[in-house]
Amino acid sequence: QKEVEQDPGPLSVPEGAIVSLNCTYSNSAFQYFMWYRQYSRKGPELLMYTYSSGNKEDGRFTAQVDKSSKYISLFIRDSQPSDSATYLCAMSAEGGATNKLIFGTGTLLAVQP
């Protein structure tokens, strides 16, 4: 079993829809959680960073962490065609241990105009 599981998609939604992207994990020690967006043939860019459980909102994006269920989510409201990309979750157990980040395989999202 992989430490981090992410549905590869592709996920296709109409413009304006609410999108839910998810990752599950097996290591209960994980407490730092990130979401990256990666456009085709580009490097990933950091979208959201959360510590421990709870929600964090930034514009149309909301990151949610449920440590009891070992489950994290990224919600995109009012999705736009420009949101079409691969979304990667990443997590680690130790603060500052960027060499120990574990990435999901990514979910490909397509927002249809």
Partner 1 sequence: DGGITQSPKYLFRKEGQNVTLSCEQNLNHDAMYWYRQDPGQGLRLIYYSQIVNDFQKGDIAEGYSVSREKKESFPLTVTSAQKNPTAFYLCASSSGQGNTIYFGEGSWLTVV
Q: Minimum distance between the CB of residue 91 and partner 1, rounded to whole angstroms?
A: 9
- The string of DSSP codes covering 39-89 is -TTS--EEEEEEESSEEEEETTEEEEEETTTTEEEEEESS--GGG-EEEEE
Identify which of residues 80 and 98 has a Cβ nearer to partner 1 in the complex: 98
Q: Should residue 34 be labelled a site residue for partner 1 when binding is judged by CB under 8 A?
A: yes
| Site membership for partner 1, residue 98 (CB under 8 A) | yes
Q: Closer CB to partner 1, residue 3 or residue 15?
A: 3
Q: Does 10 bind partner 1 (CB under 8 A)?
A: no
8 vs 16, which CB is nearer to partner 1?
A: 8
Decide the pairing of beta strands 32-38 and 19-25: unpaired
Q: Which of residues 38-77 bind partner 1 (CB under 8 A)?
A: 41-46, 49
CA proximity to 9, closest of 76, 113, 104, 97: 104
CB of 50 to partner 1, least distance (A): 10
- Comparing CB distances to partner 1, the nearer of 18 and 97 is 97
Q: Which residues have CB under 8 Å from 110's CB, separation 6+?
A: 10, 11, 12, 13, 84
